[in-house]
Structure 1
Amino acid sequence: MDLKFIGFVTVIVLLLSVISGCIENGRDVSWDTGDKDKQQDTLVDTENDTASPAEPSVNDTQEEPDSENYTPEPPYPEPEEIKQIHGDWDEIDSGGSFQREFNWSYGGYKWSVTMEFFPETYELYKNRSRERDYDLFVSDPYDDELITDIVNHLTKAGKETGLDDTELSYLVVSFVQSLPYTSDDVTTGFDEYPRFPYETLYDNGGDCEDTSILVSALLAEMGYGVVLIELPEHVAVGIKCGEDFQGYYYMYEGRRYCYLETAGENWPIGEIPDRHKGQEATIIPVHKRPFLDIDFTARYGYTPRDVYVDVNVSLKNLGSEKAENTKIYVALQTSDTSKVWDDIESEYLQVLPEAGYNYYVKNLHAPAGEKFRVYVRAYGDNVISDESVSAWVTGGSV
């Protein structure tokens, strides 16, 4: 039996940056109850934030607030300053790299792929948030170089062996199916810990969502239409197929997607384990898109007439595409949530994948004794975040 060897080295360097933008004054509202010195202090990146975000606190006195209550301790950026992420990963030290050889069989041949990995790069991946949908692990732009290299080398070697296009897809699938199955709770200590493609290969395996993410990324790079299929306690892949293809499939937006099992060897496209037949499935489309994660803390101060609120918003794009012309909106909603006591928004921001901003707003206010809550949302031309709200506050208590 012939031995086919493919050797290549993959080095992934993460370069994260933010496009600088600017901020504007807030909009006055018709039910303004008095003079205020409302200020949106600054937008700063979350990697090099020189300001210490204020923790939620309550000033339960009824005296006129002085400036000390509302001025963060130095060092604090000047108003209207936006700082750019410089990134500590512009250069990766290759001294600690190692090589891993992957071996498997397909089509009467033994195949071998050797890749080089870097612990520093792996640590960068480990520090990235898992609070994102599965499809965003597939379309992650920082794995593009890795995925392209694997596809190019496997395709080249497969064609030299005489494989046709369908067989090339099976070659790629068989590579991932050969990876050892490892459960998240054993390898990471978490019940669920989806991995980026780089991590799955670095760790030499993963569970069903990890191998499904990796296969989906590879097949998408080869030009196949793919979706993720989420079943009870299981994730698999759907590959777009024609009506003449025999096998188990799901319909999504009028198209057939044939089932592909990635957790285990020698599963052909269209064959599904018996335990998953007839189970309710959620189809997850795969495409590049932005995804904004937003959170905030608030600090309250009180006078006999007003309640003043400082809000510190954290925004990060956990998606795979730039969030274009994005604004951050902060308001104190009335009990009728269609109205606000006070509000403000940033100017347009261009938020790249993995980029983030801190947005500080000072002295939003509502009348004492009136019910309100803090409301925060980000929106842009191609994205809108989930809303984030505080508990309801009334008058002089939180």
Structure 2
Amino acid sequence: MLRVSSPERQDWRAQAAALGFHFHTIAGEPYWDERAHYRFTLRQIEDDIEAPTAEIEAMCLEVVDRAVRDEALLRQLAIPEPFWDFIAQSWYRREPPLYGRMDFAYDGRGPAKLYEYNADTPTSLYESAFFQWLWLEQARVFGRVPKDADQYNAIQEALIAAFEAFDPGCYLHFSSTEGHDEDRGTVAYLEDCARQAGLATDYVPLERIGIDARGRFSDANDYVIEALFKLYPWEQVFEDRFGEYVPKAGVRWLEPPWKAVLSNKGLLPLLWQMFPGHPNLLPAYFDGDPAASALTGGYVRKPLFSREGANVEWVEPDGRRYAVDGPYGAEGHILQALHKLPAFAGQHTVVGSWVVRGEPVGLGIREDATPVTRDTSRFLPHAIVG
């Protein structure tokens, strides 16, 4: 695994604009960054990323199967009781998932260590699935990478196949909150994949979804929503003023409700309980668990519902602390063993392994000058060389 400096394509911003990639710059700073790229060997991809992702995905499903049968665990995950059966029934029906992203600390040598699983509303999808593949094709032409370089990236093909497996007679709505360019771009990309799969689709802002007299959700044109992909976390749905209508609305959900177990940081201590010592896991405990005293080498304190590094607190062995502000924490915390991200050229690098319909399919890399990956962290492309 190497970080290699490389010249930018002169017209990449124009290409991004033409393709609808409008969030390539955030707050005046580059988000998409092709001034460097990462190189992996095929062995590193297959043995150190792809295989562990598949194994952890299977382990996660065992966690869900345990959690939906254990009210104490659902309570520990801060999932409201009125939704327990809703989640359990979606699991018992084996409602298929769409996608997720596991974030790993990996330096090209030791086992990749799972930081967390963004199983419900992961972004950085478009740039992983499409825009970095476009970069690779052009980088081969311009000599930025060898002509036989490849990329671990079957994300788009897998997404289209997943939508093809969806009920062909179903009209699928897509939704996200207004005013968020990255969320809107992610949903637009997924909707395009669904259309390529032959599905009829429409977009409705989350704020414009209504409820009819029969308790069914409807779009801005008063059409009943039968199936909905929502880029909106399940834990926020549960707290929303319309949340009480969700279990009986008759909607087919993407992601399915059982994903609420996996998108919760409480997944990490549950994985450690069930698979202690697994080489790709970090020791993790619920806050207040006496067993957490074993974390003598420092730890990271994460809220159960935290996203994009918000409210994460980093505690060094000598007691020094680094904290990120945000709106989370009232729901409870977990403690995870401190395992620092590798640094390449002074940047802290996290490897995102994409999963579609339960199968590992691709890679996205983000880096930051700080040890916590945030929504402003840069995205860099990658290539397989050797």
- Which of the five TM-score ranges fits, normalised by the shorter chain? under 0.3
TM-score, normalized by length of structure 2? 0.25
Rg (Cα) greater in structure = 1
Q: State the TM-score, normalized to the length of structure 1.
A: 0.24
More strand by share: 1
